[in-house]
Structures are given as C-alpha cells and as structure tokens.
Structure 1
Amino acid sequence: MSFVKLKAARETKQSYVIQNTVQTSLESSAVPSEVDQKQATITEKIYKSIPEYLEIRTSSTAGRGLWAKRACGAGQVILAVKPHAAALSNEQLDSHCSQCFGRGTSPGLKRCTKCHAVYYCNSTCQNLDWSLHKHECIALQRIAASGDTSIPSDAIRCLGRIMWKRQKNGPTGDWTREIDQLQSHNQDLKPSAYELHTHLAISLVRYLGFSSPSETASFGLASGADLANFVSRFVTNTFTITDPSLTPLGASVSPPVAIINHSCDPNAVVVFPRARDAAQEPLMQVVSLREIAPDEEILTAYVDTTLPRELRQRDLIDTYLFSCACPLCASPPDVDPRESVWCPKGCGGMCPTPTEGLLSRCAKCKAVLQKTDEVLDAMRVGQQALDKATALQLSDPAKARQLTTNLLPILTSAGLTPSSHPRLALTRLHTVLLIAALPVPPTQAPLDEAVVAAANANAGLGGVLPFGHPVRALAVAELGKLLAVDEPSPAPGPETDGERAQARGRYPPSGAMRLRLALETLVQARAELHVGFGAVNEGGMVGRTVREDIVRLERELGVWKKGIGEALRDAREAGTISR
C-alpha cells in the first residue's frame, strides 16, 4: 500500500485530545509528577534539533507537546529539520530524486545501474544517499532476482531505511532513542487495523531478507512484540512529504515534529517549501500561521480541517485513536461554514445543514429552512459523486469531470454555501479536473470555465481556512495564474456607458480588467504564501514563481496604460533596448 496520503501523526495524549482508551482528568495538573519531570529531562536531552526558543512540556493529562518560549510572528519558520527517514512513493520514483526529492525527468535523472529502481539528480545526491541505498539496492536486487517485478511500497522502503539506520546508530544512540520515543498504539489497535500492521511487519521481514521476525535482533528489536511496536510507531507517526504545491511525494518520519500536538484550528503548519540548497532537502519546516505568544502551545492539524466536525473526528479516531476536543470541536460556532445552507429568505445569513427530525433556522433572521429533504438528498448524492469522482480522477478523468459538472449545480440549487461539505470538496476537485483538461494552447470557453471554478473554490476555502494557510494560498495563486493566461479571443472593449457597466459585472472580465484582477490576485497570493510557506523562504518555490508573474503582469499593464510609445521610452531608459 502507499502511504503518500497518510496525514502527519503525533502523540495522542494531548491538551486538545480525549483518549478513546484512557480516562483523563478534566483539569490539567499544575505540577508534573516526578515521572513526568524525569521523562521531560530525558526528551530534552535527546531532541538536539529543537531550538532553544521551543520547549517540550509534559504532564499526566496533556502528554508531550511543543511550546513557544518567546513570541513567534506569522510566517516564521519555527522548526526546520530533515526527516529521520524518507522514501518516495512508487509513482514518483522515476520522476524525482530519491535523495533530495527534487523533480526531474527520466533523461535528466541518473538511474542506479544496479537496482534500476531509484534515480538521482547527480552523483552528489547519489553519494549522499549511498550509506542507506547500498542496503536498499541489495534488497531491491534480491526481490527482482526472485522474479517479483513489483517494487515494495514507500512504507516498506521507509521502514527498511529506518532499520538500517538503527543498526548503524546502535540502540543507545540519540537517533534511535528519538525513534523509540515515538508513541506506539499497538495495544490499543482496533481489529480493522491488525491486517495493515501485520502486512507491514511481514513485508518488512521479507524485504530485509529474513526468514522470521526473530532475525531483527541485530537491529535492536529483540522480539516479535518489539517489531509490532516499531511498526505501530511508524504508522502513527508518518508524515506525507509533499512538493511545494502540496502534491504527495512519499512517506517520512520525523520524531521532533511528531511531538507537536493536534488542533482543528491550528496555529502552525508542516510544509516542504524547497530551499535553494538541494543538499538540505527534503527539509521539513513548521511555520506559524499567526502570531504565537510566549508559553503558547504549537499546534498543527493532522486531518483536513475543511471537513465537518463529524468527518474530522472519524478520521482522527480511525487513524490516530483519539477524539479531538479543541475549541472548534468542543465549542463550534452556531453555524459552521463547513455545514451550512443559505437562508431560505435570502437575507444573506446561513442555516446549519439540517438533520433528520430537527429544524434548521437562519442565524441572522431566524427563518426556518423548509426544504430539509432536498438538502439532505443533495448532500447524499454529492458525497457519492465526490467519492466516485475521486476514485476515477486518474483512471478516467473525463468521467470524473462529468460527475463534478453534473452534481455541482444540484448542490448549489439546494442552497449549500461555497464552504460547505461536500460542495467545497467537489468544487476543488472540479477545478483540478478542468485545469488538467485545458487544451494547449487554451481556448476561451474552457479557460473561463476553469477560472470560474477556481474562483468558487477560493470563496469556499476563504470561509474555513485562515489567511496564509498553504492550501488557501496555493488556491489563490492558482486563480491568479489562470487569470494571467493570455486570452485566446478576448471580448472587444466596451464603447458605451452601458457596455462598460456590463463589462464591470462580467466574470471573468476581459482585457486590461482581467490583467488587473490577475495582478491583484497574485499580490494577495504572494502575501499568503509568505505566511504559509515561510517569509524567509519567500513563500517557497511557488512564492518565487508568483513574484516573477507579478513582475511580468506589471509590465503588461504598463503597455495597456501608457501605450506603446511610453513603453518603448521606459525600455530605453532601463537600458533594455538601444536608443
């Protein structure tokens, strides 16, 4: 199986978490116990990569977490570390470097001449990875020699890399101790999870070339129980490595980042913005989404926070074995945009999405939502369409696009707001499918359709994600880039007052108005990217490309505004053309 979609996992005894298997007190202990203090001392000595302005704290009720000792501004990189181990997903092996995770092309990347499975940017990346790949290479060759043409998943290969590194560092080394400090839920697993854990353990033993689990003793795992706990730590604490546009690339483990606890309303995010030095990659960075005060806990989200509370809780329980009690879950707003319907009287207010047998009223004018069955039916078929379109996204994108095209008008007609589920999720998928289907060069109608879909997705994300959230920032950048595409057949300029008024109300606009809107959107995107991917990173790789787009658009608008003559004069003054 692939782990590229597995969300980041952390400790489950948390200040915003209610355990399923442990009865916790409603009040935190003001003074940690002697055991807790001893544990805190041990962890402080191990995690050398955590900077001095952050502190690991623990208590009998909150468990471990990471706190800020001084104020952090929005867009500040709080923590930057390389994962302890990482592996590309099978789908990315021939398109990305297995050392730095940088994107390339098969002719440009250099393939390992022995296992023929992994690729590198150059000899530098290959040499940097050799201490681990020399073991991996033998394992992959052994599998190929057995007649098995399939390459083990990123999960198995990442587990193998951890094992080889354990062996190199020894059982008492700080690296190994950090891995062993990760939370294991092996004793609390649901029956449905046994199959996955058993499959991973058996597959790992075979990948390492052993005939039984007992042979793992040389890696510091003396028994089958040790191996089971090792696998459980991996599953619960795996991060998905992504590219700068948040496309999943593979699986990784980072104990220092795994200490950070969960909230559905986080103050920080985990990203891989790509630094300018490839030797540092893949670099995992924790970036603050807003100002964080001294003695405030650093919190990230383990699940998609655009989902309604019930779905978030289900995902957290199924994957991480806890229920969330953060403020957004414990004291949700009267009307959560994720679960909302427009007022039936059109006052501009919102109603909570209805449930069977309960009336839903507009929070603004108190009007009663009468069409409960229509809304519930629309949500049901919308979720079915979302699940099916997601499954077909890669295998049959045309069919998936047909589903999203047909179902979105039904959800809109039922009154679901842009931020509500499943309308928002379906809109985001619809946008991706439309962009992927754009002809080259683009024609006007498909391009405008993609722009409208991207604008709708932005409206929905803006209602549930804070300014600077990476998902929201990338969506704004995507909309700006679509608006900046040269129009194949722009509408003629308006000549009368009536035509100009009509042009002002048209979306997307055309000509200079479209360019100005693209520029404004990209300027906003750059500001948000600087928050979500770090100001010191210039908003990451995407932020740097957006800056280039802004410069280009400013020049284009200069031509529209000043005329050809003045543009030529400016170019001469700048020295870009001869006099």
Structure 2
Amino acid sequence: MSFAKLKAARQDKPSYVTSNALPSQESSAVPSEGAKESLYKSIPDHLQIRTSAVSGRGLWTTKPCLPGQVLFAVKPHVAALSNERLALHCSQCFGGGGNAGLKRCTQCQLIYYCDSTCQNLDWIFHKNECIALQRVTASGETAIPSDAIRCLGRIMWKRQKQGPASPWTQEIDLLQSHKQEVQPSAYELHTHLAISLVRYLGLSSPSEIAAFGIASGADLANFVSRFVTNTFTITDPSLAPLGASVSPPVALVNHSCDPNAVVVFPRSRPNSQEPLMQVVALREISVNEEILTAYIDTTLPKAQRQASLRETYLFSCACSLCTSTQSDLRDCVWCPKACGGVCPAPTEGKFTRLPRSCTYPHNGTENSLSRCTQCLSALQKTDEVLDALRIGQQALDKASILQFTDPAKSKQLCSKLIPILTSAGLTPSSHPLLALTRLYTALLIADLQSSSLSQETLDEAVVCATKAVAGLDRILRYGHPVRGIARAELGKLLAVDEPAPRPPAASAAEEALRYPPSGAKRLRMALDVLLQARGELGVGFGAPNEGGAVGREVREDIVRLERELGVWQKGLSEAMRDANEAKTVQRS
C-alpha cells in the first residue's frame, strides 16, 4: 500500500479533534532572520520566510507575481516510488519507460533506472537501500516495504552521512511535527511507521537509532510526525500519483482551500535534474501576499476538507472558501423549480440552513429548510438527496479501491450511481457526483486504450469527460492543473478518429443538438478544446514549461488537427468544385 493510500485509509477513521483545534506554534523551530543565508538556498530572494500568529512559518512575496510564473523550483530532499511503480519508473528521475526500457539493479533486483547516469546519481541513497531490500527478501517476506518506509530510510541514511550540522539535515529537523496535537487515531500509523523503519534499517531495537542522530524513542516519534505532516505526493505529468517525497523548502508554504499557487512536477528538465518540484502562481499575487497551496483535494466539500486537514495536518482551515457564507457548489443540488439556482445539500440529522438573515418571504420566520439561493424555493425531497449522497459516497469508496484490481466492477459501480445522483438533483460540481464522473472517465479512457475502439464507448467517454470539465470549471480557478488535464483529456477524446461516424440525424435541428458531434464539426470542437487546454496548462504547469509534458503533447495535437482540418476543408472544396463542374457539363 502506498503512503497516500495509507493516509487515506486512516482518514476514514473517526477523528477526535474538536472543530476549534488549532496547531500550536513551534517557536523553537522557526529559523532566525539570517537562517536563509545558510538554509533554504533554493528559495529565491523575492520570497521571504515570515511567521504568522495564525499559520506559523510561511512564504511571502516581496514583488508581484503573474499567473503561470514559476515562483521557485527544487528537487526533493528525498523521494521514493510507490511499490506498484517500481518496475515502471526510474527510481532516480521518476521517468517512465516501462520494464523493457529500464535497467534493473543486479543486486536487489527491485529498483530500476533509466541508465548508468541515473543509477550513479541515486547511489548515495540506494547503496544502503539495496542492502536493506536484499535483507527483506532474504528473510522470506513477500511484501517489500512501502514508499513511506523506503522514503524514511533514505532520509535516515543521508542524515547519517551528512551529519547533524549539515544544512540538509537542519532543514529536515526544522520541519514542523505538531507531535503534541497528534490524535489517538494517528497513533497506529505513527507506531507502524516507527517500528517498520527500525526493522527496515536492520536494527534490533529502537535504542540503536542513535547512530542516525536520533537520541530516543521520543525523538523517533517526533521524526515520524515531521515526515507524516510534511510529505508530498510526487505525480506524473497527468497528475497520477507516483510516490512520496519530502522537500523542506516547499513545506514552508502554508495551506488554503482556495490557493494562489500549486505544486507540480512538469518534467521540463533533463532526466538528471528530475523529479523537479515547481511552485507555480495560479493568479496574480500582490506584494507582501502569502504564497498558499492546497494540501488536499479541494474538489471536496467543506466538511470533508476540514476533516482531512484535522486528521493529517492537525489544523482547521479558515481560508476565504471555508469561512464564506455563500453556497459551495461542491455541496449543492439544483433548484426544485429549475430556476437555474442551487440549494445547499442537506446533511444527515438536520437540514442545511441558510444564513440567519434569510427568512421566509411572507412570515419572516427563520428558514429551516434548504432553499434555492435565487428564488428561495424549498428543497422538499431531502430524504431522497440524503440517500443518494450516502449511497454515492459508499460507491465512490468501493469503486476507487477496485479501480486497478477490478476495473470492470469499478466501472459498473460508476455507471449505476451517476444517474442516481443526477436524478437526485446534484450539480455536476457536487461531491460525490464529480468524483464518480472523473473516475468513470478515467476507466472509459483505459478501456479505449486496452480494447478495440467502439463508437459507443468513445462517445460515452466524450460525454463523461465533458461533464467532468463542466463540474471542475465551476469550483477551480482558471489554470488549475486539474482543470487543464481534464480539458486536455476531453480534447484528445474528441480528436480520436471515429471508427464508425454516425449517420446524419433526421433533421438539421436534431443534428445541431446531438452531442458529441461527428465529422468536421467534431474535429473543430476538438481543436477549440485543445487550444483552451493549452492555455490552462500554460498557467498550471508554468509558462516557461509550456504546460509541462502534457502541454507539449497538446501542442502537437493542435498542429495535427489544424493540418487535418485543412486537408478536410480542401477536400470538401475540391469536391464542391467537381460537382459544380459536373453540373455545368450536364447543362451544356
């Protein structure tokens, strides 16, 4: 199980943190004003480390930043591929190549590299890791340690080599742990990681950890806590998770559910410099404004975002999105009178209330029912919506687990639940409808790649991808990487050669309304969508990176489509000319 999945599983357990719990500030861990001279040298001069009474250490900009600007880029201090990716990606640069294109370590036979260059660059980590992995396999264990354990091991070995006074080790030690706020639901994970790490390092007892600069069991617990609350998921160019990483400079950036920046891995450098983490501005950022990214999936509604943040990061978010009194489109249903407005979705045990200032139009009493934000119509089918939300969440959880082990069953769950949630009135951006739509799109795309292409499956994938794009557009900022990738997927689907173009509809009106279209109209739509996707990718993955690897692919698709449309139009023009000439000959 990958570290991301391990954390997600823990988040399903009850949380004992009260809603007003706030992280304590670890003032002893805050570097002095001159600390940046010896530490965090990868952070540019226009970004300053400051301390807030609310969020602790963070990064502020001293000059204005533009959307798509790369604020800074660093290689993680340490990173480890998830187990399922070990044979598919290089463990140094995380580049893909598949088993056939990679070279396996001849000793442990578990780690793969692009070539000898990547192997030599990773030797500082793999030298000890290789011995540890051989020891694990020799002991008869069938499962190799998770990415979390291997990532922790890599930190410990480099920490031992660098020494406690090195800037590298000091930056690791300055990561905030919040160990005082660790809740009982987190003890199991921390204990499991600590015990597994000791075993992986080949130690017979926790006391032997002193050789790595860890003085006691309490220090080990603090070290594990720092790791858990400061781990980043490394992703591929399409945002699929690859493994775990730690980067103290990037960890200085605080959280917002409505971030002004994102952390991405565009893969825009030679392999020897990858995987490179880049912090990219999503919008204009003013002088003396704090740089903020999102630690969690911000397509989730407020209650789930807050629970996830309290469980993993031990704080409650008070960003503008979380404190807004406006209806959140992540958690809404359409107006029952179809006026175009939305109603806040009801919650278990009570109806969702509007602000106290909202009253019944005629009697002035406080509104106790969820009502449309535009026409104030009351949502009467509360039980139906609650049932749909509960069943939808259960199906999403199960379908997500089955996505790779039983994709057919996962797809079946999605196809059954999406119509139920839609008929219950959920908007395309509401959870769990949006999540199921995105998962179903991914499963349909995988089907198209692994089996013979059918017109029905292709059209269904286009429709599903369109709904996902529409939902994401309502809740994420322009240029957000998730939006850009979703739009690129839609454009690529529209650009796929149709195996059997449909015959024209019975009437021109029906043909105009049919979606997706066919023929030249479909190609023109694909071109428009890909041009929009390229613009968004250029923001989310950084303008200097041309939208990252996906952005460069989109550019090639655009060139191909423009050429194809040109040929199409030329052929149509020539056909019309020939037809006119034939008519002229017949008349003469």
Aligned to 1:292: 285
| Matching residue's letter, 2:272 | A
Aligned to 2:413: 403
Aligned to 2:360: none
Distance 1:488 1:277 in 2: 38
Per-residue CA deviations over 1:431-467 (Å, capped at 9, x if unaligned) read 1122222264411111101110000111111111111
Tell me how far 1:493 sits from its aligned partner: 5.1
Correspondences of 1:333-482 after superposition (within 5 Å): 333=326, 335-355=327-347, 356-357=350-351, 358-438=368-448, 440-482=451-493
Deviation larger for 397-406 or 233-242: 397-406
Tell me how far 1:45 sits from its aligned partner: 3.7
Tell me how far 1:525 sits from its aligned partner: 0.4
Deviation larger for 480-489 or 394-403: 394-403
Correspondences of 1:230-379 after superposition (within 5 Å): 230-333=223-326, 335-355=327-347, 356-357=350-351, 358-379=368-389
| Matching residue's letter, 2:308 | D
Tell me how far 1:39 sits from its aligned partner: 3.2
Provide the aligned C-alpha RMSD in A: 2.1
| Matching residue's letter, 1:228 | A
Distance 2:557 2:486 in 1: 15
Distance 1:566 1:391 in 2: 54
User: In 2, are the aligned partners of 1:493 and 1:511 still within 8 Å (CA)?
Assistant: no
Helix, strand or coil at the partner of 1:394: helix
Distance 2:428 2:249 in 1: 37
| Matching residue's letter, 2:502 | A
Residue 523 (structure 1) aligned with residue 515 (structure 2): no
Residue 224 (structure 1) aligned with residue 234 (structure 2): no
Per-residue CA deviations over 1:156-203 (Å, capped at 9, x if unaligned) read 111111111111211011100000000012222111211111111111
Tell me how far 1:288 sits from its aligned partner: 0.6
Tell me how far 1:486 sits from its aligned partner: 0.3
User: In 1, are the aligned partners of 2:230 and 2:246 still within 8 Å (CA)?
Assistant: yes
Tell me how far 1:206 sits from its aligned partner: 1.2
Aligned to 1:13: none
CA, structure 1 residues 6+301, in 2 after alignment: closer, same or farther (shift >3 Å)? farther
| Matching residue's letter, 1:550 | I
Distance 2:542 2:402 in 1: 34
User: In 2, are the aligned partners of 1:339 and 1:420 still within 8 Å (CA)?
Assistant: yes
Question: Paired residue for 2:183, among 182, 190, 197?
Answer: 190
Aligned to 1:96: 89
User: In 1, are the aligned partners of 2:23 and 2:314 still within 8 Å (CA)?
Assistant: no
Tell me how far 1:43 sits from its aligned partner: 4.9
User: In 1, are the aligned partners of 2:23 and 2:315 still within 8 Å (CA)?
Assistant: no
Tell me how far 1:36 sits from its aligned partner: 9.6
Tell me how far 1:23 sits from its aligned partner: 7.7
Deviation larger for 454-463 or 379-388: 379-388
User: In 1, are the aligned partners of 2:23 and 2:181 still within 8 Å (CA)?
Assistant: no
CA, structure 1 residues 276+184, in 2 after alignment: closer, same or farther (shift >3 Å)? closer
| Matching residue's letter, 1:51 | P
Deviation larger for 352-361 or 340-349: 352-361
Question: Paired residue for 2:559, among 535, 551, 554?
Answer: 551
Helix, strand or coil at the partner of 1:39: coil
Residue 75 (structure 1) aligned with residue 64 (structure 2): no
User: In 2, are the aligned partners of 1:7 and 1:303 still within 8 Å (CA)?
Assistant: no
User: In 2, are the aligned partners of 1:46 and 1:174 still within 8 Å (CA)?
Assistant: yes
User: In 2, are the aligned partners of 1:44 and 1:56 still within 8 Å (CA)?
Assistant: no
Helix, strand or coil at the partner of 2:101: coil
Identity %: 70
Distance 1:221 1:422 in 2: 43
TM-score, normalized by length of structure 2?
0.89
Residue 147 (structure 1) aligned with residue 140 (structure 2): yes
Deviation larger for 397-406 or 304-313: 397-406
Helix, strand or coil at the partner of 1:241: strand
| Matching residue's letter, 1:350 | V
| Matching residue's letter, 1:551 | V
Tell me how far 1:302 sits from its aligned partner: 0.8
Correspondences of 1:144-183 after superposition (within 5 Å): 144-183=137-176
Deviation larger for 289-298 or 426-435: 426-435
Distance 2:467 2:180 in 1: 45
TM-score, normalized by length of structure 1?
0.91
Distance 1:317 1:506 in 2: 46
| Matching residue's letter, 2:343 | C
Per-residue CA deviations over 1:73-92 (Å, capped at 9, x if unaligned) read 10111110000000111100
Q: Unaligned stretches of 5+ in structure 1?
A: 9-17, 25-32, 568-579
Per-residue CA deviations over 1:237-262 (Å, capped at 9, x if unaligned) read 00000100011111100000000000
| Matching residue's letter, 2:515 | Y
| Matching residue's letter, 2:519 | G
CA, structure 1 residues 500+204, in 2 after alignment: closer, same or farther (shift >3 Å)? same
User: In 2, are the aligned partners of 1:86 and 1:158 still within 8 Å (CA)?
Assistant: yes
Aligned to 2:578: none
Q: Unaligned stretches of 5+ in structure 2?
A: 9-18, 352-367, 576-588
CA, structure 1 residues 172+59, in 2 after alignment: closer, same or farther (shift >3 Å)? same
Distance 2:397 2:444 in 1: 18
User: In 2, are the aligned partners of 1:6 and 1:239 still within 8 Å (CA)?
Assistant: no
CA, structure 1 residues 47+22, in 2 after alignment: closer, same or farther (shift >3 Å)? closer
